[in-house]
Structure 1
């Protein structure tokens, strides 16, 4: 897709309403009352046995009716304002739905019931009762719960408040934590049996979060309606809002994304073709409008490849307000997600849970309200996008470059930034069995904060991309200090069809007794994959003022060196503001893989006050600071450090002891 196509789909036609008109829209929407809207059937008028129809799209853009019958009306007894908490249960007797059962993607399909005396013509007459919203897994036939339209309209009347941009800015919420998502990523890495060398950066960034070790903090939307059932409860007997299907490319990508997206009510589907962003040629984007029963697409990633969740429009108000889904996306109240007209490829019947594959056509506004009863969209441009450029170089293929726009969302943006990279690297073929993935690029955040990416990963899988990109992005967005959304990402992925890993077989030190200012000479024996062992000579100069004593000498790979820095300088793992957090993340991700590190801990502990290091304090000053009356003082260990850059990735460690004396021959 070229940039012109992207701009067309982002901007649509002349219907866009500028920010200067938002207050006028708010005034007009506040004036809408029930007399201006189609008639509805209140929950109290619904009776078991009443019949009617629903509207939805089975394929393409054609809205089709399907017959329904009410089998139960449930009213909650503990809510304050009826009909909150009510649910109308229906059966759908259309042959297609008897085969498929409740379909993910049909959420929001409007349901109408006939009054006595209506001719009962399918698709005609009747009063709107609500939106197709929920169902059971594994159920036979088609049993669905309907969210009453009264609840949905109540949320729609709150939508104009979201048009005040200054108020909206405060609704993004306060500081949060990336810890639950990073833990989910590490669980994924564990399931993929990735080694510690692949996960140490993610584990280190996790430790920057105050709740790093609190595994009771749930990942995903915290809602009793979406909470996972207890381990001893069969999910097939738990009714929950219909998940929203999202194309995810290959089956492997879908499996990787499932534990990250399903807690948010999104089902990744293995559907390679539907990730392509252009609609079928027989669809005129400018003529396709939102209607009750039409496809509602919620793009999360736009550009050369697309990812979008999909549902169905329930009701369209005269001012262009859209009511949809009949259940929440995140139930966060305020929302800023683009909404687009859409089309359906087809419905996939499944014994577990059927789903509809759909795609976007043209963005027509913003979802501004997200409640348990559904979402509300308005014809305004109040979402934000971040550009991403991803280049891919693979043997026997020309270099490729992809352009994307990433939707701003605190929880989903990190996932879909990684999703884009995974799709690009395997757009043409899978990674070779023997490979080295070289990731380079820059992540940019507000106020010119940048995180460089330079990762050399032998024997990589797509999970390695998740581990390297998602934790730093998520930590900058969700942290105890402030929200720093990803503003842009430039990434290059170079795939080499050979391994660059190596093993530190052995090492020895030439002299164990040295003087201050002298060099420590080390010979490291390293065996690259498929090659014989070779000697590498390392020369580490010692400071001239190094005190006499016994010293440990460590020869380390990247992971062990990074972990040693973390344990010897624990004060750096506490951050007081976003700039300190940013710098610490940069420190972690900047440790080169293709290097050996020599680290010699100094024997005299230093002190840090907060994050300020005081390495050479006189003993009198140390005594003053190390007292119960002085807080935030912590000892740390200084390291004499030396890095040896290599063109391969070594793994392993070696350890020695040396004696430093000014006159070693005299002892």
Structure 2
């Protein structure tokens, strides 16, 4: 391992005030590079700081970090209330060399406004507040610490933020100190202690630890406020998004009554970036740092951090709407104070989420994913169409769409009780067209959690597969909620004979007990192939819900599981086949009979060839090539029911050898049953109460 790669691994996460390291770092770096629409690139510190890379027009407006000295005083701009831009005082305490991904940071002390007037100190939502010295823009306030008794934080120099406008972004990372530790030019007193070092550290500020004399600071996250979502669904969404450093909090929502205000995006004004709009709103609010023409820079740190994924700070290209914002007020807190703000009017689009800030354009329109959920509650006769638009990014869209769909169902059926849902999912994506899946689900407490599982799986396969992400164009869901306990379990199975000839059919009786009702009998006809080898076989009858997990062991699947998404299946040669494999899977209401055969069948380009003559199958096996593969062969038949089924039962059958098929079938003696581990029942059997039944279990 080279010294540079070792440093890269030691440089852990660069987070907001959140994040827990959950997974090994090495492969996750590669996974993120594969699944993001465009991989994140880092600029060398020496290249970024060079005035030659800065547009002359911008150079006139800014002060380079090399010219900033300890003791210099200036001012900052931000909105504390409404839309009025106010100023606050700033004093430079020191310069931290190569503390932020190989670039410098400026340590400052601030005063004025509610920071000192109301004891709010560091305030979330101030991220991006422009800092000026001598009338020149120095950078954006971006970093702070919890439980601070004084408003001390760090500023991202504007010269690094300007790289978000560079059309030729450097591709290689710079060298940097582990965990971003840097020496101060002069020790500073704070809270009765003296600090000579400053370190940027990921994770929860409450658990931050450092040696004596080291001040630990964290990227100051803007509140990602959510409105229109219930607490328990927001909590699930938060768990899924936590690996990316995203923690939604309850917010006031859009300030629709302020839409008549003429708010201009300028340095110091509040700016909102939305990940979800419509019947649910999920928006982060920060501050505009710099504007030239229709282009803006803001925040001073990424909006969405790489979370627990090493080395990734910012999501790279991120197409989301940006809006003017209204600040309802500042909430002082001993832990970390925050602004309560909401979006007002959409005025443009976000373009890049970069390590040193975000860039966007005024006047553009974001390409969002429209999501519509049609929900009907059969108990009340209510019906509603629920509409949202979701940011189109492969790491964000699946969780946000699933959470929005779950909320739509919860809005109609929010009381914990028995409920069955008949759900139709329709997802339109690039290259593969429209994917449709219908199923029924049951849950005794939260039907919304069960009802979105097919949607979750389809979105996962589109965005997290071993082939390539397929851009989602539209999502539509229909959910009919029925207030009943629509389940049934398989109690036992019976057959009229114990021995069968190749080419014959097995009449399988299945005793099913619906919840709270008397048992009913359903029948399945299982046809045996005419060339089926003689021997003993297991006949299994199971519920469609009993099939195995749809997953693989790829790194992409592990990242996907980390994000709370279901995992994709193997044995496919392309994305279309992967989707087809899923759509072919049994539904929860299916009653499935299955016999696993002893041989294998060729699998060519993901397609399994069952029932071909043995001589042809043997010839295909002998090919000196990695193709074809071989899969286990099986006989399978199913019928649909009106319940969500559970359970599995098994019987042993005998298939006579081909050379004995003309002999009279010999009836076997009754056999004692044996119980399977999960309650399944085995043994040769027939039901004496059934027509033609000859043996009892």
| TM-score, scaled relative to structure 1 | 0.74
- 1:132 aligns with 141
CA 1:357–1:479 in structure 2 vs 1: closer, same or farther (change >3 Å)?
A: farther
- 1:392 correspondence with 2:375: yes
Alignment deviations for residues 145-164 of structure 1 (CA, whole Å, 9 cap, x no partner): 211122223433x15x79xx
CA 1:657–1:419 in structure 2 vs 1: closer, same or farther (change >3 Å)?
A: same
CA 1:346–1:633 in structure 2 vs 1: closer, same or farther (change >3 Å)?
A: same
Of 608, 631, 645, the residue aligned with 1:650 is: 645
- 1:177 aligns with none
Q: Partners of 1:572 and 1:247 in 2: how far apart? A: 35
- 1:56 correspondence with 2:36: no
Say if 1:554 and 1:653, in contact at 8 Å, map to a contact too.
Answer: yes
Q: Partners of 1:226 and 1:443 in 2: how far apart? A: 40
Displacement of 1:603 in angstroms is 3.2
Q: Kindly report the root-mean-square deviation, in angstroms, between the aligned alpha carbons of the 2 structures.
A: 3.6
CA 1:294–1:266 in structure 2 vs 1: closer, same or farther (change >3 Å)?
A: farther
- 1:73 aligns with 95
Q: Partners of 2:644 and 2:508 in 1: how far apart? A: 19
- 1:551 correspondence with 2:560: no
Displacement of 1:554 in angstroms is 0.6
- 1:472 correspondence with 2:452: no
Q: Partners of 2:620 and 2:525 in 1: how far apart? A: 37
Larger Rg: 2
- 2:231 aligns with 251
Alignment deviations for residues 515-552 of structure 1 (CA, whole Å, 9 cap, x no partner): 33433233333332333444434343434554433221
Displacement of 1:228 in angstroms is 4.9
Q: Partners of 1:352 and 1:565 in 2: how far apart? A: 42
Of 247, 251, 257, the residue aligned with 1:281 is: 257
Displacement of 1:380 in angstroms is 4.8
CA 1:628–1:134 in structure 2 vs 1: closer, same or farther (change >3 Å)?
A: farther
Mean CA deviation greater in 439-448 or 137-146? 137-146
Of 491, 499, 504, the residue aligned with 1:518 is: 504
Q: Answer 1 or 2: which has greater strand percent.
A: 2
- 2:273 aligns with 298
CA 1:508–1:483 in structure 2 vs 1: closer, same or farther (change >3 Å)?
A: same
CA 1:77–1:604 in structure 2 vs 1: closer, same or farther (change >3 Å)?
A: closer
Displacement of 1:111 in angstroms is 2.0
Q: Partners of 1:87 and 1:31 in 2: how far apart? A: 21
Q: Partners of 1:594 and 1:566 in 2: how far apart? A: 25
Q: Partners of 1:410 and 1:31 in 2: how far apart? A: 32
Displacement of 1:618 in angstroms is 4.8
CA 1:538–1:348 in structure 2 vs 1: closer, same or farther (change >3 Å)?
A: farther
| TM-score, scaled relative to structure 2 | 0.71
- 1:418 aligns with 402
Displacement of 1:346 in angstroms is 3.5
Displacement of 1:76 in angstroms is 1.8
Q: Which runs of 5+ in 2 are unaligned?
A: 1-51, 172-198, 305-313, 554-567, 667-697
Count of paired positions:
551
- 1:665 correspondence with 2:664: yes
Q: Partners of 2:317 and 2:256 in 1: how far apart? A: 33
- 1:341 correspondence with 2:324: yes
Displacement of 1:255 in angstroms is 1.1
- 2:248 aligns with 268
Say if 2:123 and 2:339, in contact at 8 Å, map to a contact too.
Answer: yes
CA 1:403–1:258 in structure 2 vs 1: closer, same or farther (change >3 Å)?
A: closer
- 1:147 correspondence with 2:156: yes
Displacement of 1:333 in angstroms is 4.0
Q: Partners of 2:88 and 2:451 in 1: how far apart? A: 44
Of 393, 418, 433, the residue aligned with 1:449 is: 433
Displacement of 1:636 in angstroms is 1.8
Of 486, 490, 496, the residue aligned with 1:500 is: 486
Q: Partners of 1:232 and 1:621 in 2: how far apart? A: 65
Q: Partners of 1:390 and 1:451 in 2: how far apart? A: 16
Alignment deviations for residues 610-640 of structure 1 (CA, whole Å, 9 cap, x no partner): 4243434555544444358332333222222
Say if 2:200 and 2:216, in contact at 8 Å, map to a contact too.
Answer: no
- 1:641 correspondence with 2:636: yes
Q: Partners of 2:68 and 2:95 in 1: how far apart? A: 7
Q: Which runs of 5+ in 1 are unaligned?
A: 1-29, 116-125, 163-170, 172-223
- 1:355 aligns with 338
- 1:111 correspondence with 2:131: yes
Q: Partners of 1:516 and 1:32 in 2: how far apart? A: 80
- 1:312 correspondence with 2:287: yes
Mean CA deviation greater in 398-407 or 420-429? 420-429
SS in 2 for 1:457: strand
Of 567, 572, 576, the residue aligned with 2:573 is: 576
Say if 1:243 and 1:265, in contact at 8 Å, map to a contact too.
Answer: no
- 1:481 correspondence with 2:455: no
Say if 2:92 and 2:106, in contact at 8 Å, map to a contact too.
Answer: no
Of 76, 100, 105, the residue aligned with 1:86 is: 105
SS in 2 for 1:86: strand
Say if 1:256 and 1:463, in contact at 8 Å, map to a contact too.
Answer: no
Q: Answer 1 or 2: which has greater helix percent.
A: 1
CA 1:491–1:76 in structure 2 vs 1: closer, same or farther (change >3 Å)?
A: same
Q: Partners of 1:131 and 1:487 in 2: how far apart? A: 36
SS in 1 for 2:664: helix
Mean CA deviation greater in 468-477 or 86-95? 86-95
Displacement of 1:654 in angstroms is 0.6
Q: Partners of 1:230 and 1:471 in 2: how far apart? A: 35
Q: Partners of 2:597 and 2:528 in 1: how far apart? A: 11
Q: Partners of 1:40 and 1:243 in 2: how far apart? A: 25
Mean CA deviation greater in 555-564 or 639-648? 555-564
Alignment deviations for residues 308-363 of structure 1 (CA, whole Å, 9 cap, x no partner): 2222111111x121010101235344443332222233334444444333332222
CA 1:525–1:231 in structure 2 vs 1: closer, same or farther (change >3 Å)?
A: farther
Alignment deviations for residues 270-293 of structure 1 (CA, whole Å, 9 cap, x no partner): 34x52xx5x3324425x2210112
Say if 2:115 and 2:122, in contact at 8 Å, map to a contact too.
Answer: no
Say if 2:569 and 2:578, in contact at 8 Å, map to a contact too.
Answer: no
- 1:604 correspondence with 2:599: yes
Say if 1:411 and 1:474, in contact at 8 Å, map to a contact too.
Answer: no
Alignment deviations for residues 215-256 of structure 1 (CA, whole Å, 9 cap, x no partner): xxxxxxxxx978658999659975332233323322212211
Q: Partners of 2:336 and 2:452 in 1: how far apart? A: 28
Q: Partners of 2:287 and 2:224 in 1: how far apart? A: 14
Q: Partners of 2:637 and 2:614 in 1: how far apart? A: 28
Q: Partners of 1:604 and 1:36 in 2: how far apart? A: 72
